[in-house]
Amino acid sequence: IEQKNISYHMSDLNFYEYIFKKIYLALVKKQYKNFYCGVWPLPHALTSSVEQYPLNPQTFAFDYGKHSATQQGCSLLDAAFRRYFSLIFPDYTAGRWTEEFLKCQISTDHNDCENYPNDDSSERYNLSVSAGQASLNAATVWGILRGLETFSQLVYQDDLGSYFVNETFIEDFPRFQFRGVLLDTSRHYLPVHAILKTLDAMSYSKFNVFHWHIVDDPSFPYQSRSFPELSKKGAFHPATHVYTQSDVRRVISYARMRGIRVLPEFDSPGHTGSWGKGQSDLLTPCYKGGAPSGTFEVTSVFPDSYIHLGGDEVDFSCWRSNPHVRAFMQKMGFGGDFPKLEAFYIENIVNITSANNKTSIVWQDVFDYHERVGAHQDFTVLVEVWKHGCYLCKVRQVTKAGLRVILASPWYLDLPGPTHNWARYYTVWPLAFPGSEKQKRLVIGGEVCMWGEYVDATNLFPKLWPRASAAAERLWSDEKQTSSVEKAFPRLEDFRCKLLRRGIQAGPLNVGHCKHEYQGV
């Protein structure tokens, strides 16, 4: 625009600035008219349009609705607001800002800020972005956390660094209540910072259970208050390779702030080789030639209502060789039936956990032993199906017996195979077995397992992510809407780039690159 012999006053500058902003926004809107919503895992009901709203990190804020049961001072949500502000605006100094900006108002029906998430916590939420206002509503703070994650994934940047979010309406909830990740910290010790970083990554994929397989045959890193010798003699190193009581509290607190339960596993009577180093009378001595050849406080430390008792891969050879064990079996009327002895042991442990108001989870081996000896009556445990082969046949068998199931068999991510082969973990159909609706309601979810034989902090993250996210969508989203690998791939590829930008070393899915490839990594 050419003007001559005109004095420029402030009103003129404001006019030209206004025109420039209008032209700029029109160009941006045209550039993003084909905006693609890449939320992972996919919400159950989502509609969006090309209508855009700018976000200014200098004025954007989360706040509480007037009628929300939760208000400022809720440490869990106040911390979440700060955390997600940084995730939404990782480099907010760039870009230019417009005059009208969007804010996000949250509202809950219940004030459960001081609670821990549990097996029936609601994670349902509704999110709407329209007319310059974002609104996030949920029954509980746990639903708000899931909605915050979704909102953070809706925000995007243009080439100049400005932030936008499109008009969007979402109604969302998890398909399965139990969505877990197992880490094995016995075969290789994982530093606390690696566990905390895993919890961050879990929250980005809406996982809600951290299954901590904390001890096993190779080492006993859990530092017990009652039996300190267990870690002093059973850990790889009694000072550097242990989880102190403070470490455990830190993990539990960090998980709670992200809506994640911590499920401890102390696997017995098998997988207890490291226990005997610090408690000489704990393990059954094996006998050769008539002579020996060698070789809880959990309910108060871990607040979750579930505890994993293990019970898998029990080797009966030591029991069989021990004359005291054989004499006890004769006294109990078990004869030489060692599965009956194992069932007797597990039932006693289950009774102890029940007396402490805990629900027991066991590996499927325990179910198989009880099935063999006909001892399923009044045996109320959750069964985790982990063996390969026809795992859905086992799911059907367990649910037919009236027991709840957690599925792990198809999601052993530590097994050999190319790290980019995520589709095998995506195309899993947990309820694709013949059975009644009642049986299928007994499948409460599943979990990804990362066993530690060949995994430590150096390779944990690229082996786990983003393949674990494929299982996360299967456990959260509607199966019919997420049955296509081809349609899911662009969203997962975009989500993997989000993980990289958030500092999670997620492995590549194919040839290509991310716009912010190495920030934070």
What distance lies between CA 397 and its chain's CA centroid?
27
pLDDT of residue 34: 38
Amino acid at 409: S
* Distance in angstroms (rounded) separating the CA atoms of residues 160 and 24: 11
Strand partners, 144: none
Strands 359-363 and 306-310 turn out to be: parallel
Query: 4 in helix, strand or coil?
Result: coil
- The single-letter DSSP state of residue 64 is E
pLDDT at 181: 98
CA nearest to 369, candidates 436, 263, 269, 265: 269
Tokens of 174: 């998890």
**Partners of 384 in beta bridges:** 363, 406
Could you tell me the end-to-end alpha-carbon distance of the chain, in angstroms, rounded to an integer?
47
Determine whether 313 is an active site residue: yes
Judge whether 361 and 317 are in contact, CB under 8 Å.
no
Residue among 114, 297, 313, 517 flagged as catalytic: 313
Confirm if 413 and 464 have CB atoms less than 8 A apart. yes
SS (H, E, C) 75-91: HHHHHHHHHHHHHHCCC
Q: Is 332 left (phi over 0), alpha (psi -120 to 50) or beta?
A: alpha
DSSP 402-441: T-EEEE-GGGBTTSSS-TT--HHHHS--TT-SS--HHHHH
Amino acid at site 198 = T
Question: Assign residue 311 a region: left if phi > 0, alpha if psi is -120 to 50, beta otherwise?
Answer: left
How high is the pLDDT of residue 336?
80
Given a contact cutoff of 8 angstroms between Cβ atoms, the answer to whether 450 and 463 are in contact is: yes
Q: What is the pLDDT along the chain (521 residues), one digit of tens a residue?
A: 333 333 334 455 465 555 555 555 555 444 444 344 589 999 999 999 999 999 989 889 999 999 999 999 999 999 999 999 999 998 865 444 444 567 899 999 999 999 999 999 999 999 999 987 899 999 999 999 999 999 999 999 988 888 999 999 999 999 999 999 999 999 999 999 999 999 999 999 999 999 999 998 789 999 988 888 888 888 889 999 999 999 999 999 999 999 999 999 986 665 555 655 655 554 444 544 443 333 367 888 999 999 999 876 666 777 777 788 888 888 888 888 887 888 888 888 888 888 889 999 999 988 987 765 455 555 689 999 999 999 999 999 999 999 999 999 999 999 877 667 899 999 999 999 999 999 999 999 999 999 999 999 999 999 999 999 999 999 999 999 999 999 999 999 999 999 999 999 999 999 999 988 766 55
The Cα–Cα gap between 283 and 274 comes to 10
Pick the closest to residue 82 from 67, 60, 101 (CA basis): 60
If phi > 0 it is left, if psi is from -120 to 50 it is alpha, else beta; for residue 290 that is: left
In 313-328, which positions are buried (b, 16+ CB within 10 angstroms) versus exposed (e)?
ebeeebbebbeebbee
Side chain identity, residue 160: L
Burial 488-506 (b: 16+ CB within 10 A, else e): beebbbbbbbbbbbbebbb
Q: What is the pLDDT of residues 369-412, one digit of tens each?
A: 776 545 555 568 999 999 999 999 999 999 999 999 999 999 99
Tell me how many degrees the CA angle 251-444-176 measures, rounded to the nearest 5. 80
The strand pair at 291-292 and 287-288 is best described as antiparallel
At residue 310, what are phi and psi to the nearest 5 degrees? 75, -120
Taking each helix axis from N to C end, the angle separating 364-373 and 391-400, rounded to the nearest 10 degrees, works out to 60
Query: Rounded CA gap, 387 and 269, in Å?
Result: 19
Q: What is the DSSP annotation of 227-291?
A: -THHHHHHSSSTTTS-B-HHHHHHHHHHHHTTT-EEEEE---SSS-TTHHHH-TTTSPPPEETTE
Q: E strand or H helix at 453, and its extent? A: none
DSSP three-state, residue 27: helix
What's the CA gap between 407 and 402, in Å, rounded? 16
Q: Say what the pLDDT of residue 74 is.
A: 97
